[in-house]
Amino acid sequence: MNKIALITGATSGIGEACAKKFAEAGYNLIITGRRIERLEALKTTIESACPIKLLLLHFDVQNRKAVEDTFANLPAEWQNIDILINNAGLAVGRDSFEDADMDDWETMLNTNVHGLLYVSKAVVPLMIAQKKGHIINMGSIAGKEVYEKGNVYCASKFAVDAINKAMRIDLLKHNIKVTGIHPGAVETEFAMVRFKGDERQAAATYNGIIPLTPEDIADTIFYCSQLPSHVCINDLVITCTQQASAYYFNKNT
Ligand code: NDP
Ligand code: 8X3
């Protein structure tokens, strides 16, 4: 195995689970995030179990210059990226439109939309040069249905859904696969971030259901990435069995 997967937002949750999954399969990994100590800890964990190479890239995806500078200085041996998993993202706040904080909205749009674009623009030329590649964009069920107090988080994931479709059309001529993954509730640090550290509200997100795990999503992404070169899963919505849509849950009472 001499393949490279780049995973953004690998310091927790779905990104971390993807890093472990792809490392077990022998991929060399570029892992990114803002929390460098988490990246270093993950590197140590993976290296103790898997004979692969890891490159840690430490930047905020909202910072266009930091993203551009990082990829402009990517070592030659790390440039043949086979798979890009655009996973870094977040929700901040869950407030009605009239009460929501403009800073929260900007953080979500800057991270989930602009950040994904900055990283993709840096990596796509490397895939075009190889005449192949696979971009896996992390959307959400929130990018398929708008729900109460989801406003701008939903808007950011609707944008990811549109960018995913647009990338697939424009990159078709370059033999680059583009896959959108749209999970429902997954138990990660997502809810703690959304509710700004309020443990009670975060825990309530998963009350009465067995949610998806980050490993469920990593397994699904890995499956999508292992299909024959002529097969591309375009779009995939995945929920736990007790969730049917953004609104309908069969909660244990
Ligand atoms: P986590 O909070 O556990 O992980 C989020 C990851 O994104 C972290 O590694 C974090 O790294 C990174 N990240 C966030 N902001 C930035 C930034 N500005 N720059 C760089 N990295 C950043 O949540 P999840 O694993 O659940 O979320 C991963 C993705 O999955 C997100 O895009 C989310 O919207 C999506 N998703 C999640 C669902 C869920 O229910 N959990 C359902 C559907 C989609 P660091 O803080 O170190 O920078
Ligand atoms: C995360 C899932 O339903 O909280 O994207 O929007 S949801």
Mean pLDDT (whole number) for 13-22? 98
pLDDT of residue 225: 98
Question: Which CATH class, in words, describes the domain spanning 4-238?
Answer: alpha beta
Give tens-digit pLDDT for 188-221: 999 999 999 999 999 999 999 999 999 999 999 9
Mean pLDDT (whole number) for 105-124? 99
C-alpha 145 – ligand 2 centre gap (Å) = 10
Residue spans per domain, the chain = 4-238
Mean pLDDT (whole number) for 223-227? 98
Give tens-digit pLDDT for 149-163: 999 999 999 999 999
Judged against a pLDDT cut of 80, whether residue 20 lies above it is answered with: yes
- Phi-psi label, residue 127: left if phi above 0, alpha if psi -120 to 50, beta otherwise: alpha
Judged against a pLDDT cut of 90, whether residue 100 lies above it is answered with: yes
Give tens-digit pLDDT for 47-73: 999 999 999 999 999 999 999 999 999
pLDDT of residue 198: 98
Does 246 sit in the ligand 2 pocket, CB within 6 Å? Answer: yes
Does 186 sit in the ligand 1 pocket, CB within 6 Å? Answer: yes
Q: How far is CA 95 from CA 47, 194, 207, in A?
A: 42, 10, 20
Q: How far is CA 228 from CA 34, 133, 170, 205, 233, in A?
A: 34, 13, 21, 37, 11
Residue whose CA is at the smallest distance from ligand 2 atom 5: 140
- Please list, residue by residue across 100-116, b when 16 or more beta carbons sit within 10 angstroms of its beta carbon and e when fewer do: beeebbebbbbbbbbbb
64, 158, 106, 11: CA torsion to nearest 10: -60
Cα(189)–Cα(219) distance, integer angstroms: 19
Judged against a pLDDT cut of 80, whether residue 1 lies above it is answered with: no
C-alpha 37 – ligand 2 centre gap (Å) = 27
**CB-based contacts of 50: which residues, under 8 Å, 6+ apart?**
23, 24, 26
- Please list, residue by residue across 8-21, b when 16 or more beta carbons sit within 10 angstroms of its beta carbon and e when fewer do: bbbbbbbbbbbbbb
Confirm if 116 and 163 have CB atoms less than 8 A apart. yes
Per the annotation, the verdict on 223 as an active-site residue is: no
Mean pLDDT (whole number) for 227-250? 98
Does 160 sit in the ligand 1 pocket, CB within 6 Å? Answer: no
pLDDT of residue 36: 98
Residue 31 pLDDT level (bands cut at 50, 70, 90):
very high
Residue type, 114: H
Give the distance, in angstroms, between the CA of residue 189 and the centroid of all CA atoms in the same chain: 13
Does 86 sit in the ligand 1 pocket, CB within 6 Å? Answer: no
Mean pLDDT (whole number) for 77-105? 98
Residue 253 pLDDT level (bands cut at 50, 70, 90):
confident
C-alpha 140 – ligand 2 centre gap (Å) = 6
